[in-house]
Amino acid sequence: MNKSKTLGELVKSGYQSKKIKDELRDNLIVKLKNKEKIFKGILGYEDTVIPDIERAILSRHNMNLLGLRGQAKTRIARQMTELLDEYIPIVSGSELNDDPMNPLSRYAKDLIAEKGDGTPIEWLHRSERYAEKLATPDVSVADLIGDVDPIKAANLKLSYADERVIHFGMIPRSNRCIFVINELPDLQARLQVSLFNILQEGDIQIRGFKLRIPLDIEFVFTANPEDYTNRGSIVTPLKDRIGSQILTHYPKTVAMSKNITHQEARISKEQNEKVEVSDLLKTLIEQIAFEARQSEFVDSKSGVSARLTISAYENLVSAAERRMLLNGEEKTFARISDLAGVIAAINGKIELVYEGEQEGAGMVAQSLIGKAIRNHFITLFPDPGKLKKKKQPSPYQAVLDWFSENNEVDILLGDTDKVYKQKLDAIPALNPLITQAVGSGKLNIADKYVMKEFMLHALAEHSQIGKAHLETGIQFKDLFGSVFSTKDLGLGDDDLN
């Protein structure tokens, strides 16, 4: 691209200036015709959110992305810069990114009047045409729109009636850019009112100045649903002025959620090489989030961010890695018992209702893991509860019989891989169940042992065998025996399923 350095050169080049909304629209049309992917790395929105955004851009609308936390709203807004022209010319030194062909500021108009075709031109890259502001209680009209600057007036020896004493806020300085306000309901009502004219007419009002500066901005707002908190809401006249309100959502399937986690989790090359994670565990990590979104203990208005599964997966890998390092092993694989290590990730990602607070965040997290195991188990194996109701023979009877013969197994968090396998191999009745469910030869060695442990946890969740939480792991034993020996273990009723 031949970049003109002066206004005269720009005019000779035949450059035609565009409004930013036309710019976005024209570039989107080209990409749609070429069947190019518009928003890279945004998964699960291909048939819902992204088409709505594309329609809003084609309609030249400002937009509000409305949804719960962790639904990629800000990431989408940031990627919209890819729909801008790579470079645009501005008057050199202009704080409002003045279009040389259509200057707005007093500075740009005076400079062009003085230098004419010799007016210097700069080129602004699309990566610099993005501004973002988080709505916080301390945001003021001066921050967003602008105010009179007494220091500038004193230095320039100007009257307060002279528009050159104005210090422009973030929005005017974002002329010809995409401007994002995150968490719009948190913006005070009087500040939302200050946006009316900008959205409808494109101009601004500062103090008593009779200014009309037709700003050229693409506004993108993000917000949680209004009933999420009592902090505030979007005033109705402002909503009326936003062209499109687009609803975002969480991944609708576990498979899509797994793809997002795989894409976003920060797992080093060394961790990938040394820690194997079975598909079963990846599924359970996602199932925890699905259970949380339906849990009576978790505030549904707050939402359960996709960051929960990302952080949980990272913690799962780290739990296995830590054990490997302590045991002096070269490689290892993540186990079901390693899910105890993801509780810290869950605790900070869910907002509990009153009853949940009474239960305690750690217990709620443990319950969510249990429910994930319980509900995923019946997608792979017969439901023990239904078998009992129909009085059908249980395929798990051989396992139950093994425990009823006073056998028990302690799965400790620090067990070496060799010891871990030996303990699970001591329950021979698990092998035919796994073969029947997934077929012989379909699981590698690590996956097979993870499946064995999974069956023990699941049978305990379905009240087929007993499970007790030890300080360093979990003990599985006969259901009735575990009840009678609770006091001997030093455990309370809450430790039993």
Place of tokens 């694989």: 333
What's the predicted TM-score (pTM) here?
Answer: 0.84
> What's residue 491's pLDDT?
44
Contacts of 138 (CB under 8 A, 6+ apart): none
Q: Judge contact between 372 and 287, C-beta under 8 A.
A: yes
Q: Provide Rg for the chain, Cα atoms.
A: 30
Distance, in Å, from the CA atom of 426 to the CA atom of 480, rounded to the nearest integer, reads 21
Pairing of strands 63-66, 130-134: unpaired
Rounded Cα–Cα distance for residues 233 and 192 (Å): 10
Q: What is the pLDDT of residue 128?
A: 96
Q: Which of these CATH numbers, 3.40.800.20, 3.30.70.20, 3.40.50.300, 3.40.50.720, describes 7-142+172-247?
A: 3.40.50.300
Distance CA 304, CA 257 (A): 12
Question: CA 145, CA 167: separation in Å to the nearest integer?
Answer: 9
Contact 409, 456 (CB under 8 A): yes
Residues ≥6 apart with Cβ < 8 Å to 423? 409, 410, 411, 415
pLDDT of residue 7: 94
**Fold of the 250-380 domain:** Helicase, Ruva Protein; domain 3 (1.10.8)
Each domain of the chain, given as residue ranges in start order, spans 7-142+172-247, 250-380, 384-497
Task: List pLDDT tens digits, range 12-37.
Answer: 999 999 999 999 999 999 999 999 99
Q: Which residues of the chain have pLDDT under 70?
A: 1, 150, 153-164, 202-203, 205, 207-211, 226-232, 354-359, 439-441, 481-497
Q: Is 14 exposed, middle or buried (0-12, 13-18, 19+ CB in 10 A)?
A: exposed
Q: How high is the pLDDT of residue 146? A: 80
What is the C-alpha separation between 402 and 428, in angstroms, rounded? Answer: 9
Q: What was the pLDDT predicted at 354? A: 63
Q: pLDDT value at position 449? A: 95
Pairing of strands 63-66, 244-247: parallel
Report pLDDT digits (tens) over 164-196.
Answer: 677 788 998 999 999 999 989 888 888 888 888
The answer to whether 328 and 352 are in contact (CB under 8 A) is no
Give the pLDDT confidence score for residue 189 in this predicted structure: 85
For tokens 């952080």, the residue is 311
**Alpha carbon 398 to chain centroid distance?**
44
Alpha-helical (H) ranges within 265-409 are 269-274, 279-294, 307-327, 343-347, 354-359, 361-380, 384-389, 397-404
- Burial of 437 per CB tally in 10 Å (0-12, 13-18, 19+): middle
Instruction: Assess contact for 316 and 281: CB atoms under 8 A.
Output: yes
pLDDT score recorded for residue 160: 57
Enter the DSSP assignment of 132.
E
- Rounded-to-integer distance, Cα 442 and Cα 29, Å: 47
Q: How many residues does the chain have?
A: 497
Q: How far apart are CA 53 and CA 65, in angstroms?
A: 9
Query: Which residue in the block uniquely carries the two structure tokens 């899910």?
Result: 339
- Residue 265 to residue 259: CA distance in whole angstroms: 10
